[in-house]
Chains A and B, each alone.
Chain A
Amino acid sequence: MENQIVKQQVIRMESAEQLVIHKLRKRPRLGETFIQGFLFFCGAVSIFTTIGIVFELGKESLLFFQMPGVTLVEFLTKTEWQPTIGKFGVLSLINATLMTTLFAMLVALPLGLGAAIYLSEYATPRARSILKPVLEVLAGVPTVVYGFFALTTMTPLLRAIFGEQVQVYNTLSAGLVMGIMILPLVCSMSEDALSAVPRSLREAAYGLGATRLETAVQVVVPAALSGIIAAFILGVSRAVGETMIVALAAGSGPNFTFDPFQAAETMTGYIARISGGDVSYDTPDYNSIFAIGLLLFTSTLLLNVISRRLVARFREVYE
């Protein structure tokens, strides 16, 4: 009698066990598999695109350097750029790029950092709620609009101040406006870095009788320095790669000059002009834009890598 009950219980337990095993069994989840595949595809597209770009740039640049009369040394050391008559000194374009970038950063760094310090250390929630959206609007303005702004507002303004020596197209105007364009980027990245500085550090400073300014400038900014430098470098990378503003306002025609009031074509401006015009395939002009493109690509890539490294290092210190 007792035995039977035990038996029955055993049987019941076994079937319960089977039920559990059945529940645990793997089952196909079609939807999930499909979405996983799709997401992988999305990732793969960007990777293959990058590889494709590098490959194409490399291949075409190789064509350029294989052309008669073109050497890498001349390319990187000479200052005159006139491919049609066999002058391949890319320095004039690089110089113009550096000039516009410098002017842009002269605007974007102090204003961007200043705004970031204001937002993270001083602003009341109300002031923040006004300033932040304004910066976002600034970041959303199409670059072609900035280009026209440079041409129709900034340049006349510069001419009003510095007189006729300011040419209609000039690197200063393009650079300054580019700085305004980059400002939101530098500001929001710097602000992230400043906000990531722990509150305890600010309290330590205030507890010693520091003012807000002393705390911000001498404690918070140094603690966030690598993040701020990263923002700066990313800003430089944006400035180097920016095309529309310089194409519209800096001038079309290579010119090796250090005069900010003169027109000078940047690397990006040159590429835009050549690829937009009707230059036939396999001419030095045409092939050269790939070499310049490769140069641009590597330098901005390098800047971005450095910037990422710095941000990563910053995270390590404070998280």
Chain B
Amino acid sequence: MTETLEKQHLAIETRDMHLFYGHFRAVKDVDLQVIPQKITAIIGPSGCGKSTVLRSFNRMNDFVPSFHMEGEVLFHGQNIYATDVDPVMVRQRIGMVFQKPNPFPKSIYDNVAWGARINGFKENMDDLVEQTLRQAALWDEVKDDLRKSGLSLSGGQQQRLCIARALAVKPEIILMDEPCSALDPIATLKIEDLMRELSEQYTIIIVTHNMQQAARASDHTAFFTMDEDRAGIMVEYGETNQIFTNPRDKRTEDYITGRFG
């Protein structure tokens, strides 16, 4: 599989990536190649470093004082951890949707418009808001009152608002950390449909605990687990179909069949 991958242009590529919190090595030696305009799922047991890996893709870990990393994370061939790279610019291109919906205590309109505005969006804001809310499959539910607080929406609606907000910045990649864990099955399916649609334009990397979700909604899957020293390692990475039907590694098989111990 690696041969086919390397021929393509990659959305994100990590090389010998090690992630640390202080002296604790949370993730070790990850070489991951994320294919553009596809959905890549990261699965694995709790604490194996999925969130840490995801957050290292847009330098969100910078806000953890003890965090540091070794290796490279390449975005368009450029190491985003190089000293001359502005993390703010990285985050404009690589957006994030969080586990818990976290709309701003502002109106629905401003929630969507804010990110675009601070990034210097000069065109018609009303159009942008409508367009991204439609993309996030939220428009019909909120179009009558965009002045309403984003916090007044239901959890599932809030999460779609957060997705719309991320889209409004026009990123290339959207990182999602368990975006459905606070949602009911129906809202979850809505978000999955949405991801499928968005993947035509965007690269999506999603962390999930939900095996079915990974199997259903992703094109590629990376399975992480914990090594003896508690450091997270990437055990297997490949097409979702292959990972779920014909895993190469015993540990992957045990995990996806629920025999993880």
Contacts and interface: CB of A to CB of B under 8 A. Distances in A.
B98 A218 contact: no
Interface in A8-54: none
A203 interface: yes
Interface in A181-205: 198, 200-205
Contacts of B106: 222
Interface stretch (A92-100, A142-150, A208-216, A278-286): A208-216
B98 A209 contact: no
A317 interface: yes
Nearest to B105: A223
A125 B66 CA distance: 12
A204 B162 contact: yes
Residue in A198, A205, A209 with the greatest tally of chain B CB atoms within 10 Å? A209
A205 B105 CA distance: 12
B65 A125 contact: yes
Residue in A208, A218, A219, A223 with the greatest tally of chain B CB atoms within 10 Å? A208
Contacts of A207: 58, 60, 91, 95-96, 98, 166
Interface in B61-100: 63, 65, 88-89, 91-93, 95-96, 98, 100
Contacts of B103: 204
Interface in A106-155: 124-125
Per DSSP, chain A at the interface is: helix
Nearest to A225: B105
A201 B102 contact: yes
A218 B106 CA distance: 10
Contacts of A219: 104, 114
A51 B91 CA distance: 59
B222 to A, nearest CB: 21
A317 B98 CA distance: 20
B118 A222 contact: no
Residue in A202, A204, A207, A223 with the greatest tally of chain B CB atoms within 10 Å? A207
Contacts of A124: 65
Given A209-B92, A317-B105, A204 B98 contact: yes
Contacts of B100: 200
A22 B69 CA distance: 64
Residue in A124, A203, A317 with the greatest tally of chain B CB atoms within 10 Å? A203
> When A and B form their complex, which 5 residue pairs have the shortest distance between CB atoms, in order from nearest?
A209-B92, A208-B115, A207-B96, A200-B102, A209-B91
17 contacts: A203-B60, A203-B96, A203-B102, A206-B60, A206-B63, A206-B91, A207-B60, A207-B91, A208-B91, A208-B118, A208-B166, A209-B88, A209-B89, A210-B88, A218-B114, A219-B104, A219-B114
Interface of B: 58, 60, 63, 65, 88-89, 91-93, 95-96, 98, 100, 102-106, 114-115, 118-119, 162, 165-166, 169
Given A125-B65, A204-B165, A211-B88, 15 more contacts: A200-B100, A200-B102, A202-B63, A203-B96, A204-B102, A206-B60, A207-B95, A207-B96, A208-B95, A208-B118, A208-B169, A209-B91, A209-B92, A214-B118, A218-B114
